[in-house]
Amino acid sequence: MIILDVPTRWNSTYMMLEVAEKFKKAFARLAREDAHFERYLEDDEGASSDEDWSRVCIFIHFLQIFYHAMISFSSSLNVTSNDFFHVLRKILCTLNKWIMSDDLVLNGMASTMKAKFDKYWDDSDHSYTSTPLTSVNKLSMNYLLLVVVCLDLRYKLEYIQFTLSEMYGQGEKSSRIFRKLKDIIAELFEQYSIWNLRPLEDNQDASISSDTTPNPSVEMSENDSITVEDPMSKWKQTQRIKLSELKKNEMDRYLEDEVAEDFSGFDILRW
């Protein structure tokens, strides 16, 4: 059914146009056969022309991005934070494409929206010095929305770097955002590491004491005081030393691994 627009709700504009476009031929026939319809629309520049309908199709395509984003982020039964950056990328790339349009109406509308977009997602922060986390809440751009993409094993940092260059070009802005993101991730991981710090010596002692078992191949009398070291505990200790010498933390190893293959129905929380 045809629905009416609600001036204070932009999503109703999309819903109205999306339904009305399906009745394009019906409206054209109504304009030809019903004089009352023409008179009713005289104050609003008359019935829609072919050019109007062409513009409606473009508006539907563009508003659809925002509409589906709103539906997705309003959901309470699935994870949304790791999808936000993908939608943000699509919106900005669409705006950049519309700015290059020869249509003055689309060009002007996209330019106005792009100016508001840049103002809201401004990454500048004069207080950002050596401690990223102390200033992350002062930034207009919420860097935690980028952190969750990094923690999605299907994308990680390489995808973010690629997307930033696509959104902002190869200039200083994309490089600055990427450097700041890496600093924030490093400090976040360091903070979590401190909270979960366990002394290596304690772990070694515990594992050695729990893993050491008598070697059944060695016979000992009551007067023997021979102790046999379990080969497995020695192997584990060697590996701990090797890992500490590599000086790589869990985050480094995670980022160096290849990204996982994406597939329909992937559940980030189940992973």
Distance CA 74, CA 116 (A): 22
Asked if residue 170 is part of any domain, the answer here is yes
pLDDT of the residue at 22: 93
Q: What angle do CA 180, 161, 192 make, to 5 degrees?
A: 50
* CB contact at 8 A, 160 and 178: yes
pLDDT of the residue at 127: 43
Strands (E), 51-191: none
My answer on whether 169 and 111 are in the same domain is: yes
Q: What is the pLDDT along the chain (271 residues), one digit of tens a residue?
A: 888 888 888 788 899 999 999 999 999 898 889 888 888 887 777 788 888 898 888 888 888 888 888 887 777 777 778 888 888 888 888 888 889 988 888 888 889 988 988 887 776 654 444 455 555 555 567 888 899 999 998 999 999 999 988 888 888 888 888 999 999 998 888 888 778 765 544 444 444 444 444 444 444 455 555 555 677 887 777 777 776 655 567 888 888 888 888 888 888 888 7
Which domain covers residue 158, as residue numbers? Answer: 79-197
My answer on whether 12 and 102 are in the same domain is: no
pLDDT of the residue at 20: 92
* Three-class secondary structure of residue 18 per DSSP: helix
CB environment 217-243: b (16+ within 10 A), e (fewer): eeeeeeeeeeeeeeeebeebeeeeeee
Which domain-ending residue is among 173, 197, 221? 197
My answer on whether 58 and 161 are in the same domain is: no
Centre a 10 Å sphere on the Cβ of residue 76 and count the other Cβ atoms it contains. Answer: 5
My answer on whether 23 and 122 are in the same domain is: no
Which positions ≥6 away from 230 have C-beta within 8 Å? 208, 211, 212, 213, 215
Asked if residue 235 is part of any domain, the answer here is yes
Question: In which element (H, E) is residue 164 found?
Answer: helix 156-168
pLDDT of the residue at 126: 41
Centre a 10 Å sphere on the Cβ of residue 57 and count the other Cβ atoms it contains. Answer: 12
Asked if residue 223 is part of any domain, the answer here is no
pLDDT of the residue at 202: 46
Distance CA 97, CA 104 (A): 13
My answer on whether 166 and 238 are in the same domain is: no
Asked if residue 218 is part of any domain, the answer here is no
My answer on whether 120 and 156 are in the same domain is: yes
pLDDT of the residue at 199: 52
Asked if residue 222 is part of any domain, the answer here is no
Tally of structural domains, the chain: 3
* CB contact at 8 A, 107 and 99: yes
My answer on whether 88 and 65 are in the same domain is: no
My answer on whether 57 and 39 are in the same domain is: yes
My answer on whether 53 and 160 are in the same domain is: no
